[in-house]
Homo-oligomer: A and B are copies of this chain.
Amino acid sequence: MSRRSGRKSRVQARAAKGAVSTPYVTRRIGLVSLIDDEAIAIIERNADRILDEIGMEFRGDPDTLDLFKAHGARVEGERVRFDPGWCRDKIKTAPSVFTQHARNPARSIQIGGKAQVYAPSFGPPFVHDMENGRRYATLEDFQNITKLHHQLGAVNHSGGVVVEPVDIPVPLRHLQMAHTHLTMNDKPFMGAVTAPERARDTIEMCKIAMGADFVDENCVLYSVVNTNAPLVMDETMLWALKEYARAGQCTVVSPFVLGGAMSPVSVAATLAQVLAEVMASVALIQLIRPGAPAAFGTFFSPISLKTGAPTFGTPEGTQLQMCAKTLADRLGLPFHSVGGLTASKVPDAQAGYESQAQLMGAALAGVNFIIHATGCLEGLLTTGYEKIVMDADRCAAMQRFVQGVDFSESAQAMEAFSEVEPGGHFLGAQHTQDNFETAFWMGDMSDNGTYEQWAAEGAYWQHDRATARVKQLIEDYEAPAMDAGIREALEEFVARRSREIEGEQP
């Protein structure tokens, strides 16, 4: 990559600076639904039966069990069973649309309705780039990735654990991560879910950055709680859910399902299980704080029944997502699901095919919050630097797609036909001159030129061009403005809490 031409780098730098960033995308096309009324009734009835007959376990928190019991659920040990319709009734207080506020108000996003938000991958312990290969991620990687997402216009969110900064002790990571999101990006971000005190710290840091009263009254954090399918919510996730619900912050309940292992080996059965888990968990959120924002999430990866490995970019993955969106709409909940997932270890064609299939499925399903839209490699064990910028380009394409076709009089361009004879060309037509800059979407990461030009420029594969783009973006990065007092207060908070936490360690 050292031989990148100066010309190309300048072009790429301009493209990066010129990227138009709307805070979120408004879908203007219909939904792709794969489930008809009869099938909806079947799945809803099956979910009700699962909750009634088998129930769900909420582990390690007697208060939760008491709360369920007080409101009429049937509690036996840690198992909670629900009469048909009970959960659906409790969920009614959850808002169907809400705002997650960013530190920069121009970056605040709508969650739900026709809005689509594209967000980074969550959770990988490894990073990969073409020059250094695969390795454990560090805080520097976390910061670099946050810098990239700050600049990529098609990414509407700074995400959460964009990689695990493994050079930071586990009990301190949430402080460094929230600090990075708040200072290096001004888009909204996600809260820690690994322990209740970490959730509290994240909320406190938002209060410093955005004002305590504001945070009390508004959603500034969006946090994902995974059930342990089938039909369990463990202590860690339960406490994080409680902490954010009490604070009026958004909790997404996203059953993590490796299909065939953690659910029966079919889309229809997995749908019923997912619906059951989401209904029981969102009902709990509403018991804790009626009206607290929540969302219906899915993470579904069918396992290969030859090897047991999770698979991505599959037909069933998208089918489940499209059906679940319909079920979420019927509950009046925003829908959260996965974007550009791939099992590939490297930014190769497999990564391209699989990520595009998942992302296009999510866009067409009308997913409101598309997580893992950028950077995924190795089924979320790795975030790829190159993959981030490659995926972001495809996010931009999907965003253009879901905005539908312009049928206005100007777009019909009937006057151009009078101007150009049969067999002629439209390059010089007035309509073309007036519209060419914005008429068609143009990607930053695709090479569309001739073979000869491509060969002369070094015959770079897409991942090579992506390496150059990553470097340029990191070089060009400028931190978003922040009040000096706030910056200092955040640093003080992180330093103080770090000392306290380190003092608590055995």
Distance between A310 CB and nearest chain B CB, rounded to angstroms: 7
| In the assembled complex, A230 has its CB within 8 A of some CB on chain B | yes
A-B residue pairs in contact (CB < 8 Å), sample of 12? A30-B33, A42-B407, A230-B423, A265-B440, A268-B405, A269-B431, A305-B442, A316-B440, A319-B404, A323-B405, A352-B352, A354-B356
Q: Name A349's contact: one of B230, B272, B348, B425 (CB within 8 Å).
A: B348
Q: Name A260's contact: one of B315, B352, B440 (CB within 8 Å).
A: B440
Known: A55-B422, A265-B432. A134 touches B451 (CB 8 A): yes
Q: Is the CB of A343 within 8 A of B405?
A: no
Task: Give every chain B residue within 8 A of A268 (Cβ-Cβ).
Answer: 405-408, 411-413
| In the assembled complex, A249 has its CB within 8 A of some CB on chain B | no
Q: Is the CB of A230 within 8 A of B424?
A: yes
Task: Give every chain B residue within 8 A of A318 (Cβ-Cβ).
Answer: 401
Q: Which 4 A-B pairs have the closest CB atoms?
A: A352-B352, A231-B422, A315-B401, A349-B352
User: Per-position contact with B for A216-239: 1 when CB-CB < 8 Å, else 0?
Assistant: 000000000000101110000000
Q: Which residue of B lies closest to A446 (CB)?
A: B350
Q: Which residue of B lies closest to A425 (CB)?
A: B261
User: Per-position contact with B for A173-189: 1 when CB-CB < 8 Å, else 0?
Assistant: 00000000000000000
Q: Is the CB of B230 within 8 A of A462?
A: no
Distance between A312 CB and nearest chain B CB, rounded to angstroms: 8
Task: Give every chain B residue within 8 A of A134 (Cβ-Cβ).
Answer: 451
Q: Is the CB of A422 within 8 A of B364?
A: no
CA distance A441 to B311 in the complex (A): 9
Q: Is the CB of A435 within 8 A of B266?
A: yes
| In the assembled complex, A121 has its CB within 8 A of some CB on chain B | no
